[in-house]
C-alpha cells in the first residue's frame, strides 16, 4: 500500500471511530420509574472475595430491606454485581460492563486496592458516582474526583492511628510487621510516613507472607531489637500465627492491629491461645460488641437475605456504606440524577449509620467520608471499646 | 538461640510440606501424573472435618475419619472421572484438567463455607498452650504434625514392602507393561494410588488445620511449595519427598532468620532452581535413562 | 465451497471481524476485543514453545509481566516514547527468556516445568520487592499512549496497534513454522537425540524457541500496559499462567490457528461467564474440564476432522503433540501407554 493510501485509510478510520466510541455522559442511565440500578464492583471469586462478595452481601441486605419497606421515592434498588477478580484488567472490564452494558446509575463497590485503582480512570471519566466501600488506597480520594467518595477508612488514617496509639500508650521502641501485597504496602508506606512525621524510626521492620504458618524468626528478630510495641499490618491468618508465636517464645509487647483484625473474638479463636491476646488492640469497624442486641439485629438482617452467613467485619463494611448510599438517595428524592446525587452526598454531615463507629461527613473538598477509628481489645473474653478518635491527618 | 529456633521451626513447617509432597509423589510414582488439584483435595478434606466436627458437633474422631474417607473418595473420583481419559495425553492436558478440577473445588468451598469466616479456626487435638521441648518452645500441634509425618512414612514403607497392593504399586511404577504381563490389575493400582494420595492429603489437612486455618484458597500456594519439595527430593522417591519438604522448610526459616523475612517465600524456589542445574533429577530421583 | 473453509480463511475472517469491531462496539466490547488481540499474541508465543518445540515451561506469565513492566518503566522512568518502549520491552523479555534455554538443555519434562516455575516465582518476587525500580506491590500508572499524530483517540489507537501487531505476529509465526525453524522445533520435540543426529543444534533451537516465546509475551505485555495505563503485579502470577495454558489447550496444541481460536474463545468465555457471578469458578472449571477430557487435541482437531482442506504448517506433526511425552527420557517418568497397546 502506498503511503497516501495508508494515510487516507487512517484518516477515514479516525473520523469514523471518533464519533463511535461512546464518551457518553448519560444523565439518567440506570434510573427508571420503578428502579434504580446500582453496580457492585469487587472480587466475587478468588481470595479477594472477602472484600468483594461478602461486603456486597452486607450492602445488598440494606438495599433489600429498603426495597421491602417500599423502596426509595417509589423506586426499588437493583444491585448488579460484576467480578473484578482482584486483578486490574478484569476490574476495567467489569467497570466498563457495568457502565456500558448494565447501564448502572452509580457504582457501590471497590474491594482490592489495585483493582480499584485500575478501574478509577474508567469510572472517573464517565462522571458516575462511585461510593467506595472497602478499598484502602489513599490515591482514590486524594486528590478528590468530583463523583468519587469513600466510606472506608483509608490506609493512611488507620496507619497514623496505629502509630499514634503506640505513642499514647508510652511505647518507646516501635516496630512494624507487615505483609507486602498491595493491601499491606499502602498501609506500610503510611506507617512509615507516620513515623517520619513523629520524628522517630522503627526499631525493626519484618515481613510476613499472607498465608504464612510460621513466624517465629520474625518474632525473634523483633524481640532482639527490643521493640516494646509492634504495629501489625497483617491479615488474620498471619496475625494469628504472629500472636501465637510471640506468646510461644514469651515476647509480650504492645500489639497494635487495624481493621482487618477488628473482629477480636474471632482472632482469638484463630490464634488458639486466648492469653496471647492480652496486649492486643485493634481498630474496629463497628461500635457495638458481638453478642449484644445490636449485633443480633444485624446478624438477623443478614441471615434474612444471605442465609447461612456469619456476620463479619466485611458485611459490616457493606452495611454501613449502603446506609450512606440509601440515605443520600432518599435525600435526593424522586428527581434522581447523578449531579444531584453528587450535590447531596457532599452535604452529608454527621450522618449516623448506626453501625460504623463514627459519623459520616463528606464535603466538596473532602471525599474521605469516614475518619473515625474505634479501638477495641479483649478483656476477659469480652470486647471492650478502648478509645474512639477522629483522625485529622 | 536463633539458630535453634530456625532449625526447629524449619522442621515443623517442613513437616507440612512433606506431608503434602508425599501425597503428590505417591500419585506421580504410580501414574505419572502430577495432580495439580492436590492442594484442593487438602483444602476440601479440612472443610469436611470442620463441617462434621464444628458445624454438626460430632466428635473429633468421626471428623477425622470423614475427612480421610472424603479425601480417598475424591482422589479416586478425580482419577476415574477426569484424569483417566487423559492418561494417554500430553502432560499439558493433564495439567489443565487438574487445574480445572481445582477451580471447581475452590468454587464449591467458597459457595458452601465462604460466608462462615475469612480464616476458619479448627480446634486442636491437644491443648494449644506451648510446651518446652528441649531448648525450644513448640506448639503441641506442630509436634503432632512431625510425628504424623514420620509415622506416615513408616506406614507407607511398610505398605510397599509388606502388602500385596504395595508391591503391585511398586511393580506398576517400575514397568507398566511387565506389570500387566504378570497379571497385575494396573487400573486398580491407579485408582488406589489416587485414593491413597487423597487420603494422605486429608490427614495432613486435619492435623494442620488448627495452625493453617481453613480457607478456600489455601491449596495452590501449598501445592507449589510441596511440588517444589517433591521435585527437590526427586519425584520418584517418597523419602525424597519428605526430605525435600524438610529442606524447603529449613531454607525458608534460615533465610528469614539470617537474611531478611522478605526472602522467606522466594528462597526455596531460588534454591531449587539452582539445585536442578546440578542435580537434574533431584536428590533421590532415579537416574535418567534416555530412550532414543 | 468447502475449499474456503480452511484455517487461513478462518484466521482471515476472525481478523476482519476484529478490524471492524470498533465500529459499533461500546467501550466494554472494545476493551474485550483488545484483550483478545493481546492474548492471541501471548497464546501464540506459548504454543510455539509448548506445542512446536515441546518444552513445558511455566514462565510465560512472567515474560508477559517483564514485557509490561519494561515498557511501562521505560516510559515512566526513562521517558521513552511508547513507539520506542514497546519494541525495547519486547527485546528485554526476549533476552531474559533466552536465558532459560540453558536449564532447558539439562532438564526436561517435569523438572524443566519446575525450574521455569521457580523463575516465575522469582520474577513475581522482584516485581513486588524491587521497589526502587518497579514501584512494588502498588503498581504504577503509565501515561496513556499518545496517538494524536494519527488523530486517533488513545483507546482506538491502541486497539488498531494491537490488531496490526497481532496480524503481523501471526503471519510471522506461520512463516517461521513453515520453514526449517518449525521443522527443527518439531524434530526437537519428538526426539532430541534423533534431531541432534540430523544436525539440529539443540542449544540454538532451544534458545530460539525461548526467544520467540519471550518476545511474543513481552510485546503482548507492552500492549497490555498501553491498554490498561497501569501496571501491577497481580496479572502476572502463576494463576494467570494457567489461563494461558488453557488457551493453548482449548485451541489446539501445536497449531497456530489453534492459538488464535483458543485465545479468542477463552477471553469470550471468561466474559460470558460473568453472568454466573459468584459461581464463575465452578462454571469455568467444569467447562474447561469437560472440554479437555472430550477434546484433548483442542478445537483444531475437530476442524481437522471435518474440514478436509485444513492445511496448517506441520499439521501432520500436530498429531504427535498430544501423545505421551516421549522425550522426557526417564523410563519411569513417562505416563503409561494405552490399555490396548500391544504387549
ipTM for this model: 0.92
pLDDT, tens digit (0-9, with 9 covering 90-100), for A195-217: 999 999 999 999 999 989 999 99
Residue A283 backbone zone (phi > 0: left; psi -120 to 50: alpha; other: beta) = beta
pLDDT, tens digit (0-9, with 9 covering 90-100), for C175-204: 998 888 888 888 888 888 888 888 888 888
Count Cα atoms within 13 angstroms, Cβ side, for C146.
Answer: 9
A97 to chain C: which residues are within 8 Å by CB? Answer: 28, 271, 274
User: Would you say residue A171 lies in a domain?
Assistant: yes
CB nearest to A21's CB, from C30, C224, C271? C30
Compute the distance between CA of residue A345 and CA of residue A369 in angstroms, rounded to an integer.
10
User: Would you say residue A369 lies in a domain?
Assistant: no
C25: nearest CA partner in chain A: A21
Extract the C-alpha cell encoding A260.
482487618
pLDDT at C220 over 90: yes
User: Would you say residue A232 lies in a domain?
Assistant: yes
pLDDT computed for residue C188 by the predictor? 84
Q: Which one is predicted more confidently, C4 or B243?
A: B243
Coil, helix or strand at residue C312: coil
Q: Which one is predicted more confidently, B128 or B253?
A: B253
Compute the distance between CA of residue C267 and CA of residue C34 in angstroms, rounded to an integer.
10
Q: Mean pLDDT across the stretch A106-134?
A: 95
A308 to chain B: which residues are within 8 Å by CB? Answer: 115
pLDDT, tens digit (0-9, with 9 covering 90-100), for C72-104: 999 999 999 999 999 999 999 999 999 888 877
Domain map of chain B by residue range?
2-278
Q: Are residues A263 and A123 in the same domain?
A: no
pLDDT at B138 over 80: yes
Q: Is the CB of A272 inside 8 Å of chain B's CB atoms? A: yes
Contact (Cβ atoms closer than 8 angstroms) between residue A36 and residue A72: yes
Task: Place C313 in a pLDDT band, splitting at 50, 70 and 90.
Answer: low
The rounded Cα A130 to chain-centroid distance in angstroms is 13
Sequence-distant (≥ 6) Cβ neighbours of residue B217 within 8 angstroms: A46, A47, A211, B106
Q: Annotate A211-239 with b (16+ C-beta within 10 A) or e (fewer).
A: bbbbbbbbbbbbbeeebbbbbbbbbbbbb
pLDDT computed for residue C320 by the predictor? 45
Q: Mean pLDDT across the stretch B206-235?
A: 91
Compute the distance between CA of residue C176 and CA of residue C170 in angstroms, rounded to an integer.
10
Q: Which one is predicted more confidently, B54 or A382?
A: B54
CB nearest to C235's CB, from A44, A89, A97? A89
Asked whether the beta carbons of residue B121 and residue A250 sit closer than 8 angstroms, the reply is: no
Task: Place A2 in a pLDDT band, splitting at 50, 70 and 90.
Answer: low
Compute the distance between CA of residue A175 and CA of residue C115 in angstroms, rounded to an integer.
37
Q: Which helix (H) or strand (E) holds A347?
A: none
Q: Are residues A314 and A354 in the same domain?
A: yes
Q: Mean pLDDT across the stretch B120-138?
A: 89
Answer whether the bond into residue C4 is a cis peptide, omega within 30°: no
A96 to chain C: which residues are within 8 Å by CB? Answer: 26-28, 31
Q: Which one is predicted more confidently, A50 or A292?
A: A50
Q: Are residues A305 and A346 in the same domain?
A: yes
**Residue C147: DSSP 8-state:** -
pLDDT computed for residue B284 by the predictor? 82
pLDDT, tens digit (0-9, with 9 covering 90-100), for A230-255: 999 999 999 999 999 999 999 999 99
Which domain range does residue C282 map to? 2-320
pLDDT computed for residue C334 by the predictor? 41
Contact (Cβ atoms closer than 8 angstroms) between residue C315 and residue B11: no
User: Would you say residue A305 lies in a domain?
Assistant: yes
Beta strands in C160-319 (DSSP E): 230-231
Q: How many CB atoms lie within 10 A of CB B220?
A: 21
Task: Place A223 in a pLDDT band, splitting at 50, 70 and 90.
Answer: very high
B6: nearest CA partner in chain A: A217
Q: Is the CB of A248 inside 8 Å of chain B's CB atoms? A: yes
Beta strands in chain B (DSSP E): 131-133, 136-138
Reference C123, options B257, B250, B270, B259; nearest CA is B270
List the alpha helices (DSSP H) in B32-163.
38-50, 60-77, 91-113, 140-162
Reference C131, options C73, C85, C184; nearest CA is C73
Extract the C-alpha cell encoding C176.
517461521
Asked whether the beta carbons of residue C238 and residue B33 sit closer than 8 angstroms, the reply is: no
pLDDT computed for residue A10 by the predictor? 56
CATH topology assigned to domain B2-278: ABC transporter involved in vitamin B12 uptake, BtuC (1.10.3470)
User: Would you say residue C285 lies in a domain?
Assistant: yes
Q: How many CB atoms lie within 10 A of CB B51?
A: 18
A47: nearest CA partner in chain B: B217
Q: Mean pLDDT across the stretch C22-47?
A: 94
Task: Place A20 in a pLDDT band, splitting at 50, 70 and 90.
Answer: very low
Compute the distance between CA of residue B250 and CA of residue C95 in angstroms, rounded to an integer.
33
Q: Is the CB of A49 inside 8 Å of chain B's CB atoms? A: yes
Extract the C-alpha cell encoding A84.
473484578
Compute the distance between CA of residue B39 and CA of residue C121 in angstroms, rounded to an integer.
18
Q: Is the CB of A288 inside 8 Å of chain B's CB atoms? A: no
Compute the distance between CA of residue A66 and CA of residue B269 in angstroms, rounded to an integer.
52
Chains that touch B (3 or more CB pairs under 8 A): A, C
CB nearest to B261's CB, from A206, A236, A241? A206
Q: Which of residues 50-109 of B touch A (CB under 8 A)?
A: 107
Contact (Cβ atoms closer than 8 angstroms) between residue B21 and residue B229: yes
pLDDT at C3 over 80: no
User: Would you say residue C339 lies in a domain?
Assistant: no
User: Would you say residue C184 lies in a domain?
Assistant: yes
CA distance to C9, C180, C184, per residue, from C310 (Å): 10, 21, 22
Extract the C-alpha cell encoding B6.
530456625
Phi, psi of C30 (to 5 degrees): -65, -45
Compute the distance between CA of residue C324 and CA of residue A212 in angstroms, rounded to an integer.
37
CB nearest to B16's CB, from A50, A213, A217? A213
Q: Which one is predicted more confidently, A148 or B30?
A: A148
CA distance to A309, B218, C155, C161, per residue, from C37 (Å): 41, 33, 14, 10
C115–chain A nearest CA distance, Å: 22
Reference B210, options B87, B75, B49, B76; nearest CA is B49
**Number of structural domains chain C divides into:** 1
CB nearest to B104's CB, from C193, C282, C292? C282
Could you give the dihedral angle defined by the CA atoms of residues A237, A240, A246 and A249, in that order, rounded to the nearest 10 degrees? -90
**Number of structural domains chain A divides into:** 2
Sequence-distant (≥ 6) Cβ neighbours of residue A56 within 8 angstroms: A40, A42, A44, A79, A81, A109, A318
A244–chain C nearest CA distance, Å: 27
A180 to chain C: which residues are within 8 Å by CB? Answer: 128-129, 136-137
Q: Is the CB of C274 inside 8 Å of chain A's CB atoms? A: yes
pLDDT at A115 over 90: yes
Asked whether the beta carbons of residue A181 and residue C137 sit closer than 8 angstroms, the reply is: yes
Q: Determine the Cα angle at B253 with ends B248 and B256, to 5°.
A: 125
Contact (Cβ atoms closer than 8 angstroms) between residue C274 and residue A82: yes
pLDDT computed for residue C200 by the predictor? 80
pLDDT computed for residue C333 by the predictor? 39
Q: Which helix (H) or strand (E) holds A127?
A: none
Q: How far apart are the first and last CA of chain A?
A: 61
Q: Which helix (H) or strand (E) holds C30?
A: helix C27-47
Beta strands A229-233 and A205-207 are unpaired
pLDDT computed for residue C52 by the predictor? 86
Compute the distance between CA of residue A82 and CA of residue A123 in angstroms, rounded to an integer.
14
Asked whether the beta carbons of residue A87 and residue C32 sit closer than 8 angstroms, the reply is: no
Q: How many CB atoms lie within 10 A of CB A7?
A: 12
Coil, helix or strand at residue A74: coil
pLDDT computed for residue B133 by the predictor? 86
Q: Are residues A167 and A230 in the same domain?
A: yes
pLDDT computed for residue A63 by the predictor? 97
Q: Mean pLDDT across the stretch C151-161?
A: 91
User: Would you say residue C132 lies in a domain?
Assistant: yes
C140–chain A nearest CA distance, Å: 10
Across the A/B interface, how many CB contacts are shorter than 8 Å?
106
Instruction: Please list the residues that pair with A175 across neighbouring strands.
Output: A230
A107-111, A296-300, B285-289 — which is least confidently predicted? B285-289
Q: Mean pLDDT across the stretch C285-303?
A: 87
Extract the C-alpha cell encoding A103.
447501564
pLDDT at C26 over 80: yes
User: Would you say residue A237 lies in a domain?
Assistant: yes
User: Would you say residue C176 lies in a domain?
Assistant: yes
Asked whether the beta carbons of residue B180 and residue C343 sit closer than 8 angstroms, the reply is: yes
User: Would you say residue A70 lies in a domain?
Assistant: yes
Q: Are residues A160 and A231 in the same domain?
A: yes
Q: Is A19 exposed, middle or buried (0-12, 13-18, 19+ CB in 10 A)?
A: exposed
User: Would you say residue A7 lies in a domain?
Assistant: no
Q: Are residues A219 and A148 in the same domain?
A: no
Task: Place A155 in a pLDDT band, splitting at 50, 70 and 90.
Answer: confident
Q: Determine the Cα angle at C314 with ends C308 and C320, to 5°.
A: 95
pLDDT computed for residue A291 by the predictor? 67
Asked whether the beta carbons of residue C329 and residue B289 sit closer than 8 angstroms, the reply is: yes
Asked whether the beta carbons of residue A221 and residue B257 sit closer than 8 angstroms, the reply is: yes
Compute the distance between CA of residue B44 and CA of residue B78 in angstroms, rounded to an integer.
13
Q: Are residues A111 and A85 in the same domain?
A: yes
Sequence-distant (≥ 6) Cβ neighbours of residue C336 within 8 angstroms: B31, B32, B87, B172, B176, B186
Q: Is the CB of B224 inside 8 Å of chain C's CB atoms? A: yes
Q: Which helix (H) or strand (E) holds C261?
A: helix C256-272
B135: nearest CA partner in chain A: A249
B138 to chain A: which residues are within 8 Å by CB? Answer: 248
Compute the distance between CA of residue C202 and CA of residue B290 in angstroms, rounded to an integer.
16
What is the DSSP track for A270-293? Answer: HHS-GGGGTTEEEEES-SS-TTSH
CATH assignment at residue C297? 1.10.3470
Compute the distance between CA of residue B157 and CA of residue B136 in angstroms, rounded to an integer.
30
pLDDT computed for residue A389 by the predictor? 63
pLDDT computed for residue A26 by the predictor? 46
pLDDT computed for residue C117 by the predictor? 86
Q: How many CB atoms lie within 10 A of CB C102?
A: 15
Which domain range does residue A275 map to? 156-284+375-388
Mean pLDDT value across chain A: 89
Task: Place C332 in a pLDDT band, splitting at 50, 70 and 90.
Answer: very low
Sequence-distant (≥ 6) Cβ neighbours of residue B42 within 8 angstroms: B20, B201, B202, B204, B205, B218, B219, B222
Q: Are residues A45 and A139 in the same domain?
A: yes
Sheet (strand A254-256) strand order? A205-207, A174-178, A229-233, A254-256, A280-284, A374-379, A382-388
CB nearest to C285's CB, from B93, B104, B172? B104
A97–chain C nearest CA distance, Å: 6
C235–chain A nearest CA distance, Å: 6
C298: nearest CA partner in chain B: B93
Q: Are residues A261 and A167 in the same domain?
A: yes
Q: Is the CB of B52 inside 8 Å of chain C's CB atoms? A: no
B68-82, B136-150, C15-29, C301-315 — which is least confidently predicted? C301-315
Q: Mean pLDDT across the stretch C256-283?
A: 93
Maximum CA pair distance of chain C? 69
pLDDT computed for residue A390 by the predictor? 59
List the alpha helices (DSSP H) in chain A.
3-20, 53-68, 88-96, 113-125, 155-168, 182-198, 216-224, 236-249, 264-271, 293-305, 313-332, 338-346
pLDDT, tens digit (0-9, with 9 covering 90-100), for C36-79: 999 999 999 999 998 888 888 888 999 999 999 999 999 999 99
Asked whether the beta carbons of residue B224 and residue C191 sit closer than 8 angstroms, the reply is: no
C-alpha Rg value of chain A to the nearest Å: 23
CATH assignment at residue A132? 3.40.50.2300
Share of chain C above pLDDT 90, in %: 47
Compute the distance between CA of residue C74 and CA of residue B52 in angstroms, rounded to an integer.
55
Asked whether the beta carbons of residue B211 and residue A212 sit closer than 8 angstroms, the reply is: no
What pTM does this model have? Answer: 0.89
A88-102, B223-237, C105-119, C299-313 — which is least confidently predicted? C299-313
> To which residue does cell 461500546 refer?
C26
Compute the distance between CA of residue C74 and CA of residue C84 in angstroms, rounded to an integer.
9
CB nearest to B119's CB, from A247, A250, A270? A270
A180–chain B nearest CA distance, Å: 9
CB nearest to C27's CB, from A13, A96, A186? A96
Asked whether the beta carbons of residue B269 and residue C121 sit closer than 8 angstroms, the reply is: yes
pLDDT at A23 over 50: no
Amino acid at each position: 500500500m502506498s503511503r497516501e493510501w495508508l494515510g487516507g485509510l487512517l484518516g477515514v478510520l479516525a473520523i469514523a471511530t471518533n464519533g463511535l466510541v461512546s464518551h457518553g455522559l448519560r444523565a439518567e442511565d440506570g434510573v427508571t420509574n420503578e428502579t434504580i440500578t446500582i453496580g457492585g464492583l469487587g472480587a466475587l471469586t478468588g481470595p479477594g472475595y472477602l472484600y468483594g462478595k461478602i461486603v456486597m452481601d452486607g450492602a445488598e441486605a440494606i438495599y433489600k430491606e429498603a426495597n421491602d419497606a417500599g423502596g426509595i421515592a417509589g423506586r426499588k434498588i437493583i444491585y448488579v454485581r460484576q467480578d473484578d477478580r482482584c486483578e486490574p484488567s478484569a476490574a476495567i472490564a467489569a467497570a466498563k460492563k457495568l457502565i456500558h452494558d448494565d447501564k448502572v446509575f452509580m457504582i457501590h463497590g471497590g474491594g482490592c486496592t489495585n483493582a480499584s485503582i485500575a478501574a478509577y480512570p474508567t469510572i472517573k471519566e464517565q462522571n458516575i458516582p462511585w461510593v467506595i466501600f472497602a478499598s484502602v488506597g489513599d490515591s482514590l480520594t486524594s486528590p478528590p474526583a468530583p463523583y468519587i467518595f469513600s466510606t472506608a477508612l483509608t490506609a493512611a488514617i488507620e496507619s497514623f492511628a496505629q502509630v499514634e496509639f503506640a505513642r499514647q500508650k508510652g511505647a518507646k521502641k516501635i516496630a512494624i510487621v507487615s505483609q507486602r501485597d498491595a493491601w499491606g504496602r499502602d498501609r506500610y508506606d503510611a506507617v512509615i510516613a507516620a513515623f517520619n512525621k513523629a520524628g522517630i524510626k522503627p526499631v525493626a521492620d519484618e515481613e510476613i507472607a499472607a498465608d504464612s504458618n510460621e513466624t517465629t524468626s520474625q518474632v525473634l528478630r523483633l524481640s532482639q531489637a527490643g521493640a516494646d510495641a509492634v504495629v501489625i499490618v497483617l491479615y488474620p491468618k498471619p496475625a494469628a500465627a504472629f500472636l501465637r508465636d510471640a506468646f510461644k517464645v514469651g515476647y509480650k509487647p504492645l500489639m497494635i492491629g487495624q481493621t482487618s483484625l477488628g473482629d477480636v473474638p474471632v482472632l482469638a479463636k484463630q490464634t488458639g491461645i486466648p492469653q496471647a491476646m492480652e496486649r492486643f488492640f485493634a481498630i474496629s469497624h463497628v461500635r457495638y460488641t458481638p453478642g449484644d442486641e445490636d449485633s443480633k439485629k444485624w446478624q438477623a438482617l443478614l441471615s434474612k437475605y444471605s442465609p447461612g452467613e456469619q456476620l463479619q467485619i466485611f458485611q459490616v463494611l457493606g452495611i454501613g456504606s449502603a446506609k450512606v448510599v440509601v440515605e443520600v438517595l432518599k435525600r435526593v428524592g424522586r428527581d434522581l440524577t447523578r449531579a444531584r446525587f453528587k450535590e447531596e452526598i457532599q452535604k452529608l454531615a454527621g450522618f449516623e449509620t448506626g453501625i460504623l463507629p463514627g459519623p459520616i461527613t463528606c464535603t466538596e473538598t473532602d471525599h474521605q467520608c469516614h475518619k473515625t477509628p474505634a479501638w477495641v481489645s479483649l478483656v476477659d473474653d469480652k470486647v471492650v471499646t478502648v478509645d474512639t478518635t477522629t483522625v485529622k491527618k | 538461640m536463633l539458630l535453634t529456633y530456625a532449625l526447629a521451626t524449619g522442621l515443623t513447617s517442613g513437616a507440612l510440606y512433606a506431608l503434602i509432597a508425599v501425597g503428590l509423589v505417591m500419585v506421580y510414582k504410580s501414574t505419572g501424573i502430577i495432580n495439580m488439584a492436590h492442594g484442593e483435595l487438602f483444602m476440601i478434606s479440612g472443610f469436611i472435618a470442620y463441617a462434621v466436627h464444628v458445624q454438626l458437633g460430632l466428635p473429633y474422631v468421626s471428623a477425622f475419619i470423614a475427612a480421610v474417607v472424603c479425601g480417598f473418595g475424591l482422589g479416586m473420583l478425580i482419577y476415574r472421572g477426569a484424569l483417566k481419559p487423559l492418561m494417554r495425553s500430553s502432560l499439558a492436558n493433564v495439567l489443565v484438567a487438574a487445574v480445572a478440577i481445582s477451580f471447581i473445588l475452590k468454587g464449591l468451598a467458597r459457595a458452601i463455607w465462604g460466608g462462615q469466616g475469612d480464616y476458619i479456626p479448627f480446634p486442636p487435638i491437644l491443648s494449644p498452650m506451648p510446651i518446652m521441648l528441649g531448648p525450644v518452645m513448640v506448639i503441641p500441634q506442630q509436634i503432632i504434625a512431625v510425628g504424623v509425618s514420620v509415622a506416615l512414612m513408616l506406614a507407607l514403607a511398610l505398605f510397599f514392602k509388606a502388602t500385596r497392593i504395595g508391591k503391585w504399586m511398586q511393580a506398576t511404577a517400575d514397568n507398566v507393561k511387565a506389570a500387566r504381563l504378570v497379571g497385575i490389575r494396573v487400573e486398580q493400582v491407579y485408582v488406589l494410588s489416587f485414593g491413597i494420595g487423597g487420603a494422605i492429603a486429608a490427614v495432613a489437612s486435619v492435623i494442620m488445620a488448627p495452625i493453617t486455618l481453613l480457607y478456600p484458597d489455601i491449596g495452590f500456594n501449598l501445592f507449589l511449595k510441596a511440588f517444589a519439595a517433591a521435585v527437590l527430593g526427586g519425584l520418584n522417591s517418597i523419602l525424597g519427598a519428605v526430605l525435600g519438604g524438610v529442606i524447603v522448610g529449613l531454607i525458608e526459616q534460615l533465610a528469614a532468620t539470617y537474611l531478611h523475612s522478605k526472602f522467606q517465600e522466594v528462597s526455596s524456589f531460588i534454591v531449587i532452581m539452582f539445585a536442578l542445574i546440578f542435580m537434574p533429577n533431584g536428590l533421590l530421583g532415579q537416574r535418567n535413562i534416555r530412550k532414543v | 465451497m468447502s475449499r474456503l473453509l480452511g484455517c487461513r480463511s478462518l484466521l482471515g475472517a476472525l481478523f476482519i471481524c476484529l478490524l471492524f469491531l470498533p465500529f459499533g462496539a461500546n467501550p466494554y466490547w472494545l476493551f474485550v476485543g483488545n484483550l483478545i488481540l493481546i492474548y492471541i499474541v501471548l497464546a501464540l508465543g506459548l504454543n510455539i514453545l509448548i506445542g512446536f518445540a515441546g518444552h513445558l515451561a511455566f514462565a510465560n506469565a512472567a515474560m508477559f509481566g517483564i514485557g509490561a513492566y519494561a515498557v511501562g518503566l521505560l516510559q515512566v522512568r526513562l521517558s521513552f516514547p511508547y513507539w520506542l518502549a514497546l519494541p525495547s520491552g519486547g527485546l528485554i523479555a526476549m533476552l531474559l527468556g533466552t536465558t532459560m534455554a540453558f536449564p532447558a538443555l539439562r532438564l526436561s519434562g517435569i523438572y524443566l516445568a519446575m525450574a521455569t516455575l521457580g523463575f516465575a516465582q522469582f520474577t513475581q518476587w522482584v516485581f513486588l520487592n524491587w521497589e526502587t525500580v518497579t514501584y512494588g506491590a502498588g503498581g504504577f500508572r503509565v501515561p496513556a499512549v499518545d496517538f494524536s499524530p494519527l488523530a486517533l483517540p488513545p483507546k482506538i489507537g491502541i486497539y488498531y496497534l494491537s490488531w496490526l501487531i497481532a496480524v503481523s505476529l501471526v503471519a510471522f509465526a506461520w512463516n517461521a513454522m513453515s520453514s526449517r525453524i518449525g521443522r527443527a522445533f518439531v524434530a526437537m520435540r519428538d526426539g532430541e537425540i534423533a534431531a541432534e543426529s540430523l544436525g539440529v543444534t539443540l542449544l540454538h533451537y532451544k534458545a530460539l524457541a525461548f526467544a520467540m516465546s519471550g518476545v511474543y509475551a513481552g510485546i503482548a505485555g507492552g500492549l497490555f500496559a498501553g491498554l490498561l495505563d497501569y501496571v501491577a503485579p497481580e496479572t502476572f502470577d502463576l494463576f494467570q499462567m494457567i489461563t494461558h495454558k488453557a488457551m493453548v489447550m482449548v485451541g489446539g496444541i501445536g497449531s497456530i490457528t489453534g492459538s488464535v481460536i483458543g485465545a479468542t474463545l477463552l477471553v469470550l468465555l471468561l466474559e460470558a461467564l460473568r453472568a454466573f457471578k459468584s459461581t464463575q469458578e465452578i462454571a469455568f472449571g467444569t467447562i474447561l474440564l469437560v472440554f479437555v477430557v472430550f477434546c484433548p487435541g483442542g478445537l483444531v482437531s475437530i476442524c481437522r476432522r471435518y474440514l478436509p482442506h485444513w492445511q496448517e504448517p506441520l499439521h501432520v506433526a500436530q498429531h504427535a503433540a498430544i501423545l505421551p511425552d516421549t522425550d522426557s527420557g526417564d523410563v519411569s517418568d513417562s505416563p503409561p501407554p494405552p490399555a490396548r497397546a500391544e504387549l
